Amino acid sequence: MLTLPAVLTQSEATACLAGFQASLDTTTDAVVCADASALQQFDSSTLAVLLACRREVLKRGKAFSVVGLPERLRTLATLYGVVELLPAADTAH
């Protein structure tokens, strides 16, 4: 599981994504889940991180899901038209 930090804004996005990519190199899970439940402060950069992570996971032939997506971030993803790209963990196959 990839765990997002409490604060993930533009200034943390690059380091966070690099950490996720390093974690992906060591995982053998068929489904990679991002845990967003700790998020307290975020901006649209958080969506960019999640979507970049999703692309990398899919490129590796694995499934991607998200757990604990805060309602404000879900609303932002809906406004940007990408919410369907961030499936909840219980609906990912």
Could you give the CA distance from residue 54 to residue 50 in angstroms, rounded to a whole number?
6
Phi, psi of 26 (to 5 degrees): -110, -5
User: How much is the average pLDDT of 12-32?
Assistant: 90
Task: With a cut of 80, say whether residue 89 has pLDDT above it.
Answer: no
Whether the model pTM is above 0.85:
yes
pLDDT tens figures, 31-84: 999 999 999 999 999 999 999 999 999 999 999 999 999 999 999 999 999 999
Written as one letter, the residue type at 36 is: A
